Structure formats: C-alpha cells, structure tokens
A and B are shown apart, each in its own frame.
Chain A
Amino acid sequence: MINSLFLISHSGDIFLEKHWKSVISRSVCDYFLEAKEKAGDPENVAPVLQTPHHYLISIYRGKLFFLSVTQTEVPPLFVIEFLHRVADTFQDYFGDCSEVLIKENTVTVYELLEEMLDNGFPLATESNVLKEMIRPPTILRSVVNTLTGTTVFAEIQGVIEACVKLTGMPDLTLSFMNPRLLDDVSFHPCVRFKRWESEHVLSFIPPDGNFRLMSYHVSSQNLVAIPVYVKQNISFLETGSCGRLDITIGPKQTMGKTVESLMVTIPMPKSVLSVNLTATQGTYTFDLTTKVVLWDVGKLNPQKLPNLRGSISIQTGAPKPEENPSINIDMKLQQLAISGLKVSRLDMYGEKYKPFKGVKYVTKAGKFQVRT
C-alpha cells in the first residue's frame, strides 16, 4: 500500500518525509516536481503519476502537496482518501493545515502518521481515536455537555456538521421535519444505515468532538431559489485598449434574512493590465499576477444595492478578449437553510443527564458562477 509520504511545499521544498516500509530516496520526488513544473498551476498536476519504479499519488491541500509513494497496485482513491484524511487530521489538531504549523509540530505530526498507518495500511483514522493516543498541542477539553449541529448548505448540496461533547455512551436520534427532501446521502460510519432506510431518522452513537455526520444532496426537482441576482455589463471595446465593467448585486428571495460575507471574484483575461473601478460598498482589489478582481462587499443592503463600476485597461496591441470573464459569487445566509431542510428533534438515550442542544442553519454559495 503506501510506502512513504512526502510533504512538499508550494515552492517545491520537501520538508517532511515518513516511511512505513523500507526507505525510499526522496529523489523520487523529482519526477513529481518535474510534472509540477510542467503543469504550471499546482491544481493541474495529475494526482496519479508513474515513475520507472514507483507510483506517485498526490493531493494538493492548503498550498501543500501530500505525495505518497507506492510500489504496487493499490486503488488510487484509497490513497487519495487517506491523504485527505491525514490533512483533515492536521487541520483538526493544529487548526489549519499549513507548512508553518506542520513544521512547528513535527513531532506530533510524526506520531500521528505513525498511528495512522501500519505497514502502509490505515490503522486509526478517526479523530477521536487518535486524540486518545496523541494529545493535540493545545488541550481544549471542555467538560460542558454541549451539542451543536451546524447545518451548512451549498446550492442544493449540504452537510450536517456535528460538534458533540457528551460523556458516556449517548445514543442520539436526529429526525427531520422533511427527510423526503434528501435525495442522496452519505453518512459517517457511526450512523445506522438501517434506521435511515426504514424511518428516515439518523440514529447514532457519536464520536467526541467535531465530525461530519452526514452529507446530502437535494434533488434538483426542488431546485432552490438563488438568493441574489446579478446585473452585469462587461464589455471590451473592439478598438482601443479599454473596456467597461458594471456590476450590481441585489437580493432575491432571501426570506427576510440578510446576505452576508458577499464576495465577488472575477478572473480577468490575461491581457488586462489594470482596472480602475469604484465600489459603492466594500472594497475591491486587483491582483496583478493572477489578474483577479476581488470585491469584498460584506452585507447586502437591500435599500442601497452595491455596485462596482469603472474601466478596464488592456495591453495595447492585444486583441480584444474573446470571452467575457465569468463572475464568481460567494455568500452566506445565517439561520436559513435554503433547501428547506429542518431538523425536527434530537433525542438522547442511554445517558441520564440533560444535554444542551442547538442547531444552526447556514446557507453558503457553492460554486456560483455567472457566465457573462
């Protein structure tokens, strides 16, 4: 299965290596670095690569490459899933999965990796099991019995994130007002699939801490209304080297909730030199290297619609871009699940005390792209 793992920074620096079988020279990473060079964008590196004696399977998370080396046939998804699990664990332990944090906590990282794999085969990958063996660097052991479920939705696809801090062996049952909405679901292993099949309730004995209880997909029949609308006008003049941009965003079917953390990203064509825009609300930035306009709007005020307008200047001599850039929108709606999914109740069996319960609904834009 997995022979070795190398952590490689964005810039190509191999800063951590771990071997579960015989040591494999880190020169094997050269093949990968070569592919990375070729691909340009780190996202474009093929996750599965072949070298004369090894196979390289990698993921790219948090500006880091997790590169695993294997010598024999193994289902690639097996390795990919595992690497993501490793990254998740780091995130869980150190708050974020970044080069600095990993370097700071090398020993913990090493211990974790030691426990997570034995001879290249996953051993313990559950966060709660690992935490029993290896303590996270900062000890945040709350004794309060709390349970909060954060419900995060993206378009018509969502997840239920749970944060459980209950002592003993509580047996929980979570039921929905309208489980029929859910079209396709996948569960944390603690959920009893049979109960879901028969009664459409989630019955489980939760592991401690944060975990993803369930992810689901709401069938497109009940397609949700998008809570904002975008009026845009981007044009490049046929002659000359400039263009105009005018974007207005307004609320639409927000059910009385405010749209928050509104963020607009526009990847401009490569030939754009600079932009000169004015925003009626929020601030905008233009990244010269990536040519991305980022407009951080903040809260959407329905009385005064945010607007961004101005001119774009293009490299002289460069032809007019063929395609208008697409507009990506990111936003959040608190206390509203746009799919209409509602938690009906949460019951606890098997323990005597009374838990604190809470549920939070959040709607987030997934990949909201406006083609112009």
Chain B
Amino acid sequence: MSTTALYNDQQGGAEAAVEAGQESTATSSSSGAAFGLFSTDFKKNEDLKEMLESNKESLKLEAMKRIVQLISKGKNASDLFPAVVKNVASKNIELKKLVYVYLVRYAEEQQDLALLSISTFQRALKDPNQFIRASALRVLSSIRVPIIVPIMMLAIKEAASDLSPYVRKTSAHAIQKLYSLDADQKEQLIEVIEKLLKDKSTLVAGSVVMAFEEVCPDRIDLIHRNYRKLCNLLVDVEEWGQVVIINMLTRYARTQFTSPWKEDGIFDENEKAFYDSDSEEKQGQREAKPYIMDPDHRLLLRNTKPLLQSRNTAVVMAVAQLYWHLAPKHEVSIVTKSLVRLLRSHREVQYVVLQNIATMSIQRKGMFEPYMKSFYVRSTDATHIKTLKLEILTNLANEANISTILREFQTYVKSQDKAFAAATIQAIGRCATNISEVTDTCLNGLVLLLSNRDETVVAESVVVIKKLLQTQPTQHSDIIKHMAKLFDNITVPMARASILWLMGEYCERVPKIAPDVLRKMAKTFTAEEDIVKLQTVNLAAKLYLTNSKQTKLLTQYILNLGKYDQNYDIRDRTRFIRQLIVPSEKSGALNKYARRILLASKPAPVLESAFKDRDRFQLGTLSHSLNIKTTGYQELSDWPAVAPDPSVRNVEVIEPVQEWAPSLGKAKKPKSDDKFYSDDEEKDEEGSGSGSEDSSSSSSSGSSEESGSESEEESSRDLEKTSSDSEKSSSGSEASSSESESQQKEKKRAKKVTPRKSKQTAADSGSDENGNGPLGKTSSSSAESSSSEESDSSEDSDSDSPAPQKKTVGKTKPKVEVKSKKEVSLLDLDDFSPAPPSAPKSSVFSSSLLSDLEGLSLSNVSSAMQVTTSSFGPVKTYELLHHMTGKGLSAKYHFPRQPCLYQPSMVAVQVILTNSSDHSLEEIHIGDRSPASLNVHCFNTVERLEPGASVSVSMGIDFSDSTQAANFQLCTKEDQFSVSIQPAVGELVMPSTMKEPDFCSEQRKLMGMNETSATIAMATANTSKQNISKQVLSVANVGVVSSDQNNLQRFAGRTVSSGALVLVTLELRESSTALLTINTEKTVMASMLLRDLKQALYQA
C-alpha cells in the first residue's frame, strides 16, 4: 500500500482520500478539505521533497518544520515518508528530533519503509549517551509495526538492565507500547515488569507501576515484595508517578489488609499500643478488641500523608481517595482541608473535586461542615460548579445549620441563571424532607415562590411542593387551593400535571375546587401536553369515584376525548380507566376494587442526592466522574475477612514475623532523631520508613542524571548488604545521600537503636501506669486527625497532680443561651412556625435531636483545628458510677481536654468502665438521657467486659456552655443506672492561641458588661509565674498567651459550644494579691470561672 502511495503522485488526491479511508485515520476530513486545493498542496509537498533531498542542513530543517506544521494541522503528509526517513541518521539533533516526530506519526501507515529506519535505532541503543539510548528506545517502541516486535522485545529487555535509570524508565514506557501492539508478549513483558518493580530508582517506580497497571493489574503477587519499598520511595517519586502508585496501592491494600472500620472507637488504642509498647505489654492490654492494623497498612497511610501538601491536585486527590478507602473512619477527616484547598484551583479541578466531595459529604457530613462557606455559590461560577455546590450544601444541611443554608438558598433562588434557580428549589425540597423541623418553613417559602414572575421557578416550585405535600398530606388544603387558583397561569406541562395529580389525590379535601378544575381541563384537553392529559384522565377517574354526582358527565366526556387521542399511551390509559371505573359486564371483579386501586395511599417519594450511588466507584476515578463503569476500570475489592499472609511482603525472611513485627516499631524509633520531623509527627511516624523522608533532601538536590544513577547503584548495593535492617526501614535512599559513609552510618545506627529503644519503652510504660493511659493514647490518635499543632502528649501524662477542683460548680442557668437557631426566614416569611415544642424540661437545646444524632454517628469533625490542645492535661478523674451501686460495673470519667472528634461543639469525655463483679457484663451502652435534647455522642456499645477487665471509651457531650449536668443512663444487658456528668466550668473551654496584641485588642472589645474582675489573695507558694499558670490551667482548659510583662499573665480560650472568647488576665499586686479579670460575653461562665480560679490560687 505504501509503495502505491509513492507512485501515485500524478493521480493525486483521490487516491490519498481512499487510502485515508482504509486506514481510518484522522486524515479523512482534512484530506477532504485539501481535495479542492489539491494542486497547490501537491506542489508544496513536491518542493518539500526537494528541500529534504538537498545537501543543506538548514533547508532540510526548514522542510521538516513545515512538515511538522502539516502534521499538527492534521493534514496528510505521508507521501513524504521516503524522503524523510533518509534523514533519520542525521547528525543534526534538531533535525533528528523532527524526523522522529514524523516517523512516529506515519510509521504505522508506511510499515515497509519504516523498517529502513530500524537499524539506525538499533545502533543508537548502544550509544554511550543515556539520552540518545532513551530517545532511540522511545521512538523505536512508538513505531507501531508488528514485524519489529521481537526487536522491540530485545531492546526493552536490554534497556531494563541499563545503568541509567532514565533509560530504564523509558523501557517501562516501552512495555506498555509493545503490549498494546502485541498482547501475546504479555508473559515476557511481565517478567520485565517484575524485574523493573525491584528497581530502587524513584525515576522508574512511577512508570513501571503504570506498566503494571496496563499490562497485568491482576498480578497483585508481583507487588508484595515491593510494597514497602514503593511506600518508602513514594515521597520522592515524580508527581505523576505518585498518582499512579497511590491508586495502585489503594487497590492492593484493599485485598491485603482487614477492614479498619469495624470497631472504630476502640481500635485506635490498640493500634497505638502496638506501636508504642513491647509485645508483652501488648498482650496485657489487649483485653478489648483484637483488631490491629497491619503495620504495612499503617506505613502506607503514614507515607502518603505528607503528599496532601503537594502542589499537584491529582496527587492530593489520590491521597484523599486513599484515606477515604483505607483509613480508619476518624482519620479520614485530615484530607478535608486539602480538598477544600483544591477548590481554589482551576475551574476544571473544582469540578472534579466537588464531585468527589459531593459523594463524600453524603456519608460524612461532619468532614465538610466546618468548611460550609467554601461551598457558597458565586454568581461567576460556571453552571455545573454551581449545581455541585448546591448539591454539597444540601448534603451538609442539618438542624444546626439549616437556617444559614436556607438564607443562602434564598439568594440563589433570585439568581438570573434560571436553571440554577430551579435546581435551588429542588434543593430546598430536599432539605425540607430531610429535616422535618423546617418542612413547614420551606413549604411556605415555596408557596410564596408560586407567585414568582419566572415560569421555570414557579413550575419547579409546584413540582417540589407536590412531592412535599405527599410526604405530609394533612392540613394542606390551603396550599392545594392556592395552587388551583394559580393553575390558569401556569403553562409548564410538568407543573400543570403536578397540580392535577395533587387535586386528584386529595380531592376529598378540596371537594368544591377539584370538579371545577376538571371542568376547565375538559375545555382545554385537546390542546394539552401528553403528560397533562394523562393526569387529567387520572383526575377524572378519581373524581368519578368520589364525587360521581357532579363529575360523571365530565369524566365521560374526557374519556371519550382520550379514546381518540393521537398518543397511544393516552388511549391505553383511557381504555383502562374506563374499564376500571365504569361498571359493566366485562369489567368484572376488578371494578369493585377501583377505589382501592386508584385512591390507595401512595408512598411519598424519597428526595435524595444524585450522588447517592456514586460511592460504588473508587473516588477520583473517571468512572466516578462520569458515573459509569469505564473501560479498564479496576474495581476496589471488599476488605478480606481474614488478611492474607502478611509475610509475603517480607523481603528477606530471616526472623519469624511475630518477632519481627514489634521490632519494626522499635527499629524505626532511633531514626527519628536524624529526621526533620517535629515531635508531634514522631508519634505517627514511628514504624514508618523514615528512610524515604530523609532521602527527599538528597534526591531533590541531586537531580542531575549522572549522580542520580550512581547513587542508585550505591544504594542498591547497600540495601542488599544490610537487607534485614535496611529493607524494613528502607534506608537505601538515605544511604545514597552519603555514599561513602553509608557503612559507618549503618554501624552508628545500630548503636543508636539500643538506648532509644529503652527510652521509648520507659515512656510508654509511664503513660500506661497513668490511669490505663487513655490520655496519652487518645491524644496521640487525635494528633493524626487534628492539625499538626499538637503538643507532645507524653509530657502531659507525666505532669503533676491536678489542683483541687470543685465538682459542684453550681446548679445554675439552664438558660445560658437559647440559640438563635430558629431565625429562618425563607423568602421573608412572616408566618414562620417554630419547630414543635420539645419536652418541657429542655429549654436549652433545640428539639431536633434525633436526626442530629443520626448525622453524628458518622460525623467526624476536624473543625477543632483552630483550637490548640492544652499544654496541661489534668488527670483528675471523677466517679461516674460506683461499683456498689452499679452491681459490679464501675465507671470513672475525666476530661481529656482534647478537641472532640465527633463534633466541634462537644466536650470530649473519657469514660473508663471497669467490671468489678465476678461475671462478665454485656452490652454496655448509653440509654435515655435528660434533658431529652441533650446532644451526646455515645460510645460504641461495649459488647462484653470480662470480670476484672476495664475498658476506656470516649464520648462527646454538648453542654452548650452551661454547667448543667448531663444525665443519662448507663445500661448493661440486665440493668440501667442513672448517672450524671457535671462539667467544671473550666472544662467547657478550649485553649486558643493568641498573640499578645491580638489578646489586647480582643479584650478591648469585651469591656463593660463582659468584664468580670476581682482582687484575690494568693497562697505565697503560688506567686511564681509557673505556679500560677499551673493552677490556672488545672482549673480551666485555656492556653497561655506569651507575654513579656512580668506581673501580667494572660490566658485565652474559647467556649466549646459557641466559640465565644474567654480571656483571663491575672495582674500580680504586692503582698500576694492579684487582680483577676475575665473578659467574655458569657458572663455567667465568667463569674463561675472567677470563683474557681480564686479558690485554686488561694489554696495549693
């Protein structure tokens, strides 16, 4: 075929067009276009040919440039192939490059001629310059000519063991090309992939994983032995490779590890215990649940986390989806911030990220609720962005924020973008069904919209109202009447049909109007849309059954019209209805049931998110974006019930796994010295491959190719030598930074291991003695989910005994604040009816608990981030239930002073349940509570507590900034015990970081009424600065504001529930007195806090 092309120059374009057709290439349209201009085009190519055949390099180059331009425009330049291919061996690099471009484009069409160039590439493959070798392989493998498959195979195999990592990378790319050319080579190619997977170079890793994904994504077994290496290299792999590796590892992890989701509340403690302590201790502690996260699973989570800070949005998304699919539920929220950051990127990025957030927000409202404002719609947003934001806002709506959201929606309804306004109305409808408190409000608002000037708005409102009325049809005849009045003015078919349906469905509520509407319809029947006609027939039938006296004739008239309608659906429906409602001999038995058939109560439609079923796809994938299964989509498997043998990932099996696993945790520890990691990271970081972190500095600096390859060799040698240790910690890349020293370093490291290890265990046992160590452990677990501003919690547990604290702070003020929550004014409604009054006792909270709690059970809020954790952890425990009263069950609680994981407005409470009876207790859980509206996040039911055992659980209570006790029942399978938690006022505060000037300016805003102060006497022992802050911190969970004034000490905090500032100032005076000032808008809290502080400072 190609040869004919050579000689048919005279015949020209017609031939070319035929050819293009045969090859089904892109050229058909362009050659068609060129057809008319054929003669000139042809001449042009002729002179290009001449230029190519000349001796001048510059002419050749010029010709090639013009040819490339032709290619870029999609024009056919294949007839120049013989002239071009001659230049493949040119010495001029620039010319050569352009020839390559041409070759790759046309080789497939000109196979025979393409073969002429092969020998050039084969020679270039042996070139001493790595770039020439790489580029030769690149072009050779891009020539899609089946005959050269064996040559390609050979070249790939050779390149795979090339010294240059760049060439090896190219060979990984070539694997995919060869595979797409000839799938029969699969087995051989897998061998090459296997070999390249072992490669230690960060340059190769991404490309070979890509090849793996294309050629043999099911050969998970190839990954096992490279898993840890990939995890450790990840930070240093180039960004595109990171995306591919992360996605692959997500899939891998889902087949290899057990689910971390089952016993979420308890599991993290065990997991920590695993890392922090020796195996013996671990045995002792493992009373509760046997789930332990595989250290390799943890390794993956830990090593991907820093990538959330990547500038590449695809990398951030990949990590986010990895956490979503693999991390324990409470850790997922660390990705929120990064995802929200992506929303400030390009429009297209926003689109994809919003889609993913929409799916996430259905399952986990809490993750995104603190960032709700980021989803507010801007008038300049593109329509699809607006719709997605609307979707997310709707998903996030709950009792607490619905008023804000509705107010926002109110603005959107007025938008000039009518499609968007209509979507907003749909969203209001969804909010109304999901949150029963606002149903009436929304409904009234929508009714007001019925008088809107815009037809689409009205129509949409009608449709939504119809759905809403269906959910609660009682006492809405007014609305139905109102809609009947509007009926004449509404022309949108869907809206008319909806009104007709409503009339029919509730015709008994509007006995006078319905027949009238039917009468009007009889007049216009023939001119209506099909959907309206169908509903008219329905209405007629329903009225016939309920009110046949008035409507019999009308119905018959309409049925007659329908009988001769052009649309067969309408004819069918008419026929069916007639047989059903009009008694005759033929109709038989069914007739008796006509009423029950037509007027059966219908289930209300469920208004749900369009993203509800999207979670069947892995997040971040194309399939997820399009909501279809795309070609080549690899499904995520479910977690295996039993984890496959983890030892497959061991690279050199020297010791048995059981011994090895704990030693992993320790072997890492010493390394954290050398790392840049701050203390707070240390806790999560231990057990990770710190090697990779270190190497980031070295490899990012040494980016020049040669040095890279050298160090690569070096490191691989190093790795083999120290296989047992270094493979686990994967210090390979670290070693490469200082090649010559690597061995000494190795020794040094070995020495360092011992002292650090003992130190570590000591620290752990310390925290364990300390009240079963729940404090230290929970804090470290939350360190992962909360921001990095986490102080080292091991200090906390060592710190001194807490100051005396009064338990009875005063039975006061259930009315600290009646929240301004019900200010809903959708569309300026006057007739807003507040939510139905709740149980009489609860004056503080809104009644809407039930669904609130539903949202809670999954929510996992990360909003505590702005609040820093206390630097002082009081370990004062209070008795919740004595074992005498509790029939053997005793419970103690304390305030861990951590931001509550479940909801930012909650105070975290740690409860330790101990079984001091002689039989095991089952199903320990929280029962009724009072006030009924008390917002509590219960701990997961403790299924079984063995005699003598104790378990620590955490719960969250929203005290609403009042010291009113939270009463609830602690239940076991047999018994129920009423207990109550009364918070000290100081526990209702979270510390807040602040600089001195900020503090002062805030303080100035809180003068007058908001200031409470008193002169207090202090115990002499207390006058030192340290002691004062110790005392203050023991009473209240506030943060110290650093100050350079000696006689002044400042503390700042925010109330947990409402976030109001609480500023404490202590000004030392002479003779052990001081002026204590508290500025906060919560004046009641201020006076209580003042009293507590006074007492604490006086005593001691």
Contact = CB atoms under 8 A, between A and B. Distances in A.
Interface of A: 1, 14-19, 21-27, 39, 41, 43-44, 46-48, 50, 55, 57-61, 70-78, 80-84, 106-107, 109-111, 114, 118-119, 121-123, 125, 157, 169, 171, 180, 184-190, 192-195, 197-199, 204-205, 212, 215, 217, 219, 221, 267, 269-270, 319, 321-323, 326, 328, 367, 369, 371
A25 B700 CA distance: 41
A80 B348 contact: yes
A81 B312 contact: yes
A27 B108 CA distance: 20
B40 interface: no
Q: Indicate the size class of the contact surface on chain B.
A: 35 or more
A255 to B, nearest CB: 15
B604 interface: no
Contact of A184 (B337, B383, B681): B337
A77 B620 contact: yes
Given A17-B74, A55-B630, A371-B411, 12 more contacts: A14-B74, A16-B73, A17-B73, A22-B144, A23-B26, A39-B383, A47-B351, A61-B346, A75-B317, A80-B349, A157-B344, A184-B338
A69 to B, nearest CB: 11
Contact of B105 (A23, A61, A118, A157): A23
Main secondary structure of the interface of B (DSSP, over half): helix
B416 A77 contact: no
Given A192-B700, A221-B866, A369-B378, A55 B97 contact: no
B1072 to A, nearest CB: 35
B701 interface: yes
B347 A43 contact: yes
Contact of A48 (B69, B74, B352): B352
A58 B382 CA distance: 15
Contact of A205 (B98, B313, B338, B701): B701
B72 A106 contact: yes
Contacts of B633: 73
B910 interface: no
A43 B28 CA distance: 30
B695 to A, nearest CB: 11
A24 B29 CA distance: 12
A27 to B, nearest CB: 6
A217 B345 CA distance: 12
Contacts of A328: 380
Main secondary structure of the interface of A (DSSP, over half): mixed
Contact of B314 (A18, A75, A184, A194): A75
A322 B827 CA distance: 13
B622 interface: yes
B752 interface: no
Nearest to A180: B993
Interface of B: 24-26, 28-30, 65, 68-69, 71-74, 97-98, 100-101, 105, 108, 138, 141-142, 144, 170, 173-174, 176-177, 180, 207, 210, 235, 238-240, 243, 247, 306, 309-314, 316-318, 337-338, 341, 344, 346-349, 351-353, 378-380, 382-384, 411, 414-416, 453-454, 620-623, 625-626, 628, 630-634, 675-678, 681, 693, 696-697, 700-701, 703, 788, 866, 993
Max count, chain A CB within 10 A of own CB: residue among B176, B238, B346: B346
Contacts, number: 233
B676 A194 contact: yes
Given A18-B72, A25-B25, A73 B382 contact: no
Given A76-B625, A77-B620, A189 B28 contact: no
A236 to B, nearest CB: 13
A77 B352 contact: yes
B384 A194 contact: no
B678 A59 contact: no
Given A59-B346, A75-B243, A323-B415, A17 B453 contact: no
B26 to A, nearest CB: 4
Contact of A122 (B240, B626, B681): B240
A192 B696 contact: yes
A80 B676 contact: no
Contacts of A1: 210
A193 B700 contact: no
Contact of B677 (A119, A194, A219, A269): A194
Contacts of A43: 347, 382
Contacts of A269: 416
B311 A189 contact: yes
A47 B174 CA distance: 30
A106 B700 CA distance: 33
Contacts of B108: 22-23
A110 B311 contact: no
Nearest to B236: A189
Max count, chain A CB within 10 A of own CB: residue among B170, B681, B703: B703
A142 B174 CA distance: 38
B176 A119 contact: yes
Max count, chain B CB within 10 A of own CB: residue among A76, A110, A157, A270: A76
Given A76-B622, A77-B317, A110 B68 contact: yes
Contact of A21 (B69, B98, B180, B993): B180
A344 to B, nearest CB: 16
Contacts of B623: 73
Contact of B173 (A119, A157, A212): A119
A107 B630 contact: no
Contact of B676 (A14, A61, A198, A217): A198
